[in-house]
Each structure stands twice: as structure tokens, then as C-alpha cells.
């Protein structure tokens, strides 16, 4: 079994494509295997697995947790398609305030690894989407923070024009006013 690891424009965020074995019965693939992930320099200690289901047009994010509860996330889609976004919120990083995106779908089985120090979110581009997150630190509600999904200084080009948002996601501050300890 093999994986292809492709660093994005911010090289700490990595698109992962697993090898898929298919025949007339269906397919088989490995979502995770510690040795190749370790060799690629990615996290291999996941402590929590999450699943979200969202209808088309939903935008979730941009979420992060403060240190020492900052989470790395391995994200994959098991139904539908999403436009997945990571924003570098590490002060002092040459990419601070920049974003990268990748389309993830159940059809092509792509994944993305988003390390700690990034705000993460996605837009659902299909009728619905089910997303699995492998997380490196447990969810700590008192450490959860976020930045406004459409912060003009970040300038994400979302594929949806009138997204469905939670009240919390609508109320997050812009990056310049967000609490960040990276």
C-alpha cells in the first residue's frame, strides 16, 4: 500500500492520496498507516476521531485551539465533496495570514493534513458531505477559537456565495483581532 504526499503552497499543509485497489466488487484503501506518515514528517498520534455531516452550501470554520491544546488534523471525506481551507496563524511564519485550499472528495479519496498553528474550515460543494477528522489533541471547548470565515485581509476565495453558517462562525473576529498564541 502506498500514499502520495504532496506539500501545498504552504508546505506544512500536505495533500495525501492513498493507493486505491478496486475491482467489480468495489474498492479497498488504507486511510492511515503510521510508517509512511512518519517518514513524510506528519503526525501519527491521533487521540480523537470526529465525523461531521453537512448539507450543501455549508461553510464550517475557520477553527483552531490555543496551545498547548492545538490540534493537527487529518481530514478525509467519505461522502460528497468539500473545498478544504487552512490559514497559517503562526506569528513569525513567512506564510502568516496566508491560506491554502484543496478539494477533497469521496470519489478520489484525497486527504489533507493540517498541522497545529492553522485555522481550518471547509465549504460543502456537493448536495451533502460527511467528513472524518483524525485529531492529535482532544477537543478543549475553553481553548477553541476561530477567525471570521470571510476575513477580507485573509481573502479566501470560497466557492459558495451565500453560505450557511453557524452563529458562532459568523461571530468570530478577523485575524488581526483574534486571540492567537502560536
Which sequence positions are flagged as catalytic? 63, 133
| Phi/psi-derived region of residue 155, left when phi > 0, alpha when psi is between -120 and 50, beta in every other case | left
Cell of 84: 478544504
**Cα 72 from Cα 37, distance rounded (Å):** 13
> Taking CA 47 as the corner, what is the angle to CA 77 and CA 164, rounded to the nearest 5 degrees?
40
How many residues in the chain? 182
Cell of 156: 479566501
**Cα 154 from Cα 110, distance rounded (Å):** 25
Cell of 24: 467489480
Question: Contact, 127 vs 100, CB < 8 A?
Answer: no
Question: Contact, 136 vs 73, CB < 8 A?
Answer: yes
Question: Contact, 62 vs 172, CB < 8 A?
Answer: yes
Amino acid at each position: 500500500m502506498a500514499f502520495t504526499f504532496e506539500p501545498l503552497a504552504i508546505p506544512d499543509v500536505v495533500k495525501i492520496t492513498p493507493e486505491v485497489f478496486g475491482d467489480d466488487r468495489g474498492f479497498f484503501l488504507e486511510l492511515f498507516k503510521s510508517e509512511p506518515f512518519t517518514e513524510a514528517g506528519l503526525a501519527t498520534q491521533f487521540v480523537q476521531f470526529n465525523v461531521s455531516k453537512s448539507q450543501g452550501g455549508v461553510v464550517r470554520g475557520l477553527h483552531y485551539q490555543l496551545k498547548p491544546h492545538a490540534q493537527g488534523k487529518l481530514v478525509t471525506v467519505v461522502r460528497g465533496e468539500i473545498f478544504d481551507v487552512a490559514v497559517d496563524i503562526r506569528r513569525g511564519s513567512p506564510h502568516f495570514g496566508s491560506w491554502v485550499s484543496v478539494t477533497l472528495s469521496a470519489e478520489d479519496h484525497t486527504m489533507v493534513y493540517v498541522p497545529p498553528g492553522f485555522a481550518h474550515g471547509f465549504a460543502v460543494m456537493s448536495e451533502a458531505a460527511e467528513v472524518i477528522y483524525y485529531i492529535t489533541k482532544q477537543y478543549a471547548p475553553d481553548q477553541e477559537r476561530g477567525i471570521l470565515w470571510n476575513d477580507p485581509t485573509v481573502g479566501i476565495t470560497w466557492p459558495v456565495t451565500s453560505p450557511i453558517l453557524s452563529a458562532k462562525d459568523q461571530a468570530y473576529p478577523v485575524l488581526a483581532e483574534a486571540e492567537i498564541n502560536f
